[in-house]
A and B are shown apart, each in its own frame.
Chain A
Amino acid sequence: MSKLWRKLLFVMRRGRFERDLEDEIRLHVDMKTEAGGGTDDARYAARRQFGNTLLLRETSREVWGWVWLETLLQDLRYGARMLRKNPGFTFVVTATLALGIAVNSSIFSLISGWLLKKPAVADPDRAVAVVATNPARALERGRISAVDFLAWREANHAFADLAAADPYHDFSLTGAGEPERLTGMRVTATYFRVLGVSAFLGRTFLPGEDQAGRDHVVILTYGLWQRRFASDPNVIGRTVALDGEEYVVIGVMPASFRQVAFLPRLWTPLVLASENPGPHARDARDFVLFGRLRSGIDLQRARAEMSTLAHRAEQSYPASEKGWGANVMTLQEYGIEEDVIRPGLMLLMTAVALVLVIACANIANLLLARAAKRQQEIAIRTALGAGRVRVIRQLLVESLLIALIGGGCGLVAAYWGISILRGMLNFNEYVGAIATNVTLDQNVLAFTCLASMGAALLFGLAPAIRVSRTDPQSTLRQGGRTGDLSRGWGRNVLVGGEIALAMVLVTGAGLIIKATAEELRADFGYDPKQVLTAAVSLTNARYHEPARRTAFFQSVLERLQGLPGVEAAGIANAMPFNAEKRTFSIQGQPAVPAAERPKARYFRVSPGQFRVLSIPLIRGRAIRESDNARAPRVAIVNRVFVERFFPGQNPLGRYIRIDLDAPDWSQIVGIVGNIKAFFGPKEDDAQVYEPYLQTPTEPEMWLAVRAAGDPNLMARALRSAVWSVDPDQPIASVRTISRLIDDLEGGDYQFDALLGIFGVMALLLAAVGIYGVISYSVAQRTHEIGIRMALGAHRADVLRLVMGKGMLLALVSAAVGLAAAAPLPGLFAAILQGFRVHSLAIFLCVPLLLLSVVLIAIYIPASRAARIDPMEALRYE
C-alpha cells in the first residue's frame, strides 16, 4: 500500500478517523484517571495534562497533509452559504457573467470552427493546394493549366502525389426523376488518394479510370445519394445518365467529406490527355491542384520547388506565362479565405471581449459594494487572526464559485447562441456548408473554462485586495456604517471605465452598421430589381461552331422577348457581378506592352441588355440590332471610362481595341452611366460594352429578363423558352439579381446585426453599472440626505446633488471613450476591405444616445433619493 493511497483512503474515511481519534482520547483519559485513583481530581488532572484536545485532533489531522483541501472545502462551503444567503445578488452576478461568457463562447465557436478546425482528410497538415499567382492581376489563388499540371506532376519532388480538379463542371442528370443540373467536380484518379479519404459505399477512382474509355464512372455525395437515390444501399453498379451519357455509380462519399471551397454533388474522372490540345492550352487555366507532401518535405520546400517550376515555364513560354507564379498552401488555408474572414472574426471577438470586460466591471462593482457591507465581518475575522492571504483566498474562492456557476450557465446559453449563429449563417450555400463546422467543440469548452476563470480573477482580485486591507481597529470602532470603502473611489473608476468601453463599442458598431447602410443606399447605376438571370453553357459537341451558338442564342432571345410579362430580354457574356477586366489600347496613343495597358470591365451584350438593367444612355447611341458581324465594330463606354481616358475630349468617334482573340478596332459610338460592377464600396471602374454579334459567340452566356411583375415567376417561362430551342439544354443559376446581392451581402447584415447586439449589451450593462453605483451611494447616504432635508434642503436640491455627481462621472468617461473611439474609422479602413463611412453622424449620435441612457439610469436612484422621508431616514440606523 503506497503512501498516497493511504492518504487518499484517509480523505474518504475522514469521519471514521475523527471518531477513532475521539475514542482513543477518551480511553486515554479514562485509563489515566484510573491510574491516578479514579477520583474526580484524578480525572481533572488527566484532562489538564492532556491539554487542548481540539488542537491535538487538528495537528493529528494536519499530519495527513490534507489541510489545504479542508480549508478549500471550508472556503467553498462558506462561499456557497454567502451566495445562498443573498439570492438577488447571486442572480444578478451570475446572470451578468453568464451573458458575457455566452457571447464570448458563441463567437469563439466561429473561430474554432473556421480557423482552428482542420479539413476532414487524412493528415490534413500535409494535404495542400497548388495555386497560380499573378501579382499584376492581384491573383493569389488562381487555377493552373493542364499543360503545367502534367509537366509539374512529372518534374516535382515535393509531392507524394498530385491531383488536378475541375471544380465546377455542370452535368445534367437525366433518367429516374426530373432532369437536374448538378455541379460536379471532375478529378484525376489520384484525387481521393491525395486527400486520403475513402468511400462510404463502394469505392473511389482506380488508377487508369481517368483515361478515355474507362472514365464513365461517377461517385456521389452523401447528400445527393440521400436525396436523389433515397439512400439506396444498392446504388453501386447502377447506371445514371450524365449529359446524355451512361455513367456507372461506383461510390458514395461520407457526409463528413466536404471541401468547403467547393460544393460538388458528384465526382467524375477528369481525362486530361486528349483535352485542350490546341494552341491556347496554356491559357486554359482551369484546374485546382491538390497534392500530398512527401514525408520530410515541408511547405516551404514545396513552395520553393513549385515557384522554380513556374519560373521555368515562364522562361520557356513567355507569351502565355509571363507574370505567372505558383504557390502552395495547406488545404485549410485554401478552403477558408482567412484574410477575408479573420478581420471580421477578430472584430467580433474584440466586441464580445469588451462586453465581458464590462460585465466583469459590473460584477466587481457589486462585489465591492457587498465587500463594504462585509467589512465588519472581515474585520472580526482579521482581529481573530485570519491572515491577509487567507482573507483574499476566501474572497477569491467566492469569485471562483461565481465564475463556476456563471460560466456553467454561460456554456448552456452558448449552446443556444451557437445554434442561433448557425441559423444566421445560411445566407448562401457556401456559408451554410462551412457553418456545419461551427459547434460547441472542445476548443470552445476549453475557451469557456479559461474565460470564466480569467473573468473571476478580473472581477475578484481587486475587491479582494481592497477588502483585505481593511484595518480591523478603525472598522470595528466605526460600527461598520461608513467605512473607507463606501467612499467608492474604486467603484467610480470601474463604472467610468465601463461607460468609456461601451462608448467605444457602440461607436464601432455604429460605424460599421452605417457603412453597410451607406453601401446599400448607394446607387448601383442600374436597377437590380425585377431582373432574372440564368447561365447557359453550350458544352454539347453540336455547339462547337460559334455560328451554331449564335443561332441558338438568337432564337432563345426572340422567344424571351415574346414572353408575356417580359419588358426586355438580353444576352451577355457576363453580368455586373461577374464581369472581368480586360486590357485595351486607344488608337492614336503610343503603343505599350500588354502588361502595362489600361484595364476596363468588359461586357459583350445584345442590344436589349441596357434596357434589362436600365443603364442610362448619356450621349451617342446604344447598341443596335444592326450592329452585327457584317457591320463595322462599335463600342459603348461608361462615364468613368471617358473621365479617365478622354479627359476633356470627345470620345465619340475614337477607336479602342480590347485585348482578346479578335484584334479589331471598335469605334466608340455611345456613353452610358457607370454601374456598380461588383457589389461593395469599390471605386467605380471603367467599363466597355461591345455587341456580342460582332465577335464569335462564347459557349457560356447569361440570359437576363426584366419582368413586369415578380421576376421569380418568370423562371419557368425562361426555362421553357430555352428548352423550346433545345430540349436537352440545361440551365444553371436561375436567380434574380436581388437574390444574388443578398447572397453576397448576407454576411454583412449578419455581421452588423451581431455587432449591433453586442453594442446594445455593452450599453445596457454600463447603464446597469452606473445605476448600481448611484443606487448604492444613495443607500449609503440615506442618513446624510435625511439630515440635509431636515435642515431645509428641497427635493430638487437632493436630485441635483445625486444626479450632478453621476452626470459628472458619465460626462468624463464618455469623453474618454469618445477619444478612444476617434481612431476607429481609420482602423476599420485598414483592416476591412473597402470600408468607407461618413462618421460624423455616428460621433454625434452615439454620445447622445449613451448619455441619455445613462441619464435614465442615474435619474431612477436620484429620484428615489429625493423622495426620502427625513424622519424615517434619521431613524434608519
Chain B
Amino acid sequence: MGTRRTEIPPGTLDMLILKTLSRGPAHGYGIAEHIHQMSEDVLDVEEGSLYPALQRLLIQGWVSAEWGQSANNRRARFYQLTKAGRKQLDRELSEFNRVIRAIGRVIQTA
C-alpha cells in the first residue's frame, strides 16, 4: 500500500466505471481494483467518489445493480452496463479521444 495514489482526472471516473463494466458485471471493489490494475497502479479510485458515482450512473439509467455471489461466495452487489450505458460509454469515449488528440496536437506543436 505504499504506492503513490493518483487522483483520477475530474469527469473521467464515470467513463472508467462504464468501460470497466463493459467487460461484464462487477461489484464496487472489483471496479476499483480493475481500474487500479489496468492503470498499472497509477490510478486509484477513492471509495468516497466511487459509490456516489455509482449512484449517479444508477439514476441516469446507465448501469443497473443486482445482488449476487462474489467469486469467494460472498453476497455482493453487481453493477451491469445497460443499453443506454453502452451508448453513453461510446459517446464519452469518442469525446475523450477527441480531446486527448487535440491536447496531443497542442503539446507536439508547442
**Which residues of A approach B to under 8 Å, CB–CB?**
1, 3, 6-7, 20-21, 23-25, 27-28, 30-32, 35-36, 45, 49-52, 55-56, 59-64
Contacts and interface: CB of A to CB of B under 8 A. Distances in A.
Given A27-B28, A36-B1, A60-B54, 4 more contacts: A6-B59, A27-B74, A60-B55, A64-B59
A62 B52 contact: yes
B48 A52 contact: yes
Interface string B1-42: 100000000000000000000000001110011000000000
A667 B58 CA distance: 105
Interface residues of B, number: 25
B47 interface: yes
B102 to A, nearest CB: 30
Contacts of A23: 75, 77
21 contacts: A1-B61, A6-B61, A20-B77, A24-B28, A24-B76, A27-B29, A27-B76, A28-B28, A28-B47, A30-B74, A35-B33, A36-B1, A55-B48, A56-B48, A59-B48, A59-B51, A60-B52, A60-B54, A62-B52, A63-B56, A64-B59
B60 A3 contact: yes
A39 to B, nearest CB: 12
B17 to A, nearest CB: 14
Contacts of A64: 55, 59
Query: Which has the most chain B C-beta neighbours within 10 Å: A7, A27, A31?
Result: A31
A699 B71 CA distance: 111
Contacts, number: 68
A63 B61 contact: no
A63 B50 CA distance: 12
Nearest to A51: B48
A97 B45 CA distance: 56
Query: Which has the most chain B C-beta neighbours within 10 Å: A3, A24, A35, A51?
Result: A24
Contacts of B51: 21, 24-25, 56, 59-60
A30 B28 CA distance: 12
Contacts of A49: 1, 47
B47 A56 contact: yes
B69 to A, nearest CB: 12
A214 B32 CA distance: 97
A63 to B, nearest CB: 4
Interface in B48-91: 48, 51-52, 54-56, 58-61, 65, 67, 70, 74-77
Nearest to B55: A63
Contacts of B65: 20
A27 B27 contact: yes
A20 B54 CA distance: 13
Those 3 A-B pairs whose CB atoms lie nearest each other, nearest first: A63-B55, A31-B29, A59-B52
Contacts of B67: 20
Query: Which has the most chain A C-beta neighbours within 10 Å: B27, B29, B70, B77?
Result: B29
B59 A63 contact: yes
Query: Which has the most chain A C-beta neighbours within 10 Å: B32, B47, B67?
Result: B47
Nearest to A10: B59
A719 B33 CA distance: 109
A31 B60 CA distance: 28
A740 to B, nearest CB: 76
A30 B70 CA distance: 12
A562 B9 CA distance: 117
A50 B77 contact: no
Contacts of B29: 27-28, 31-32
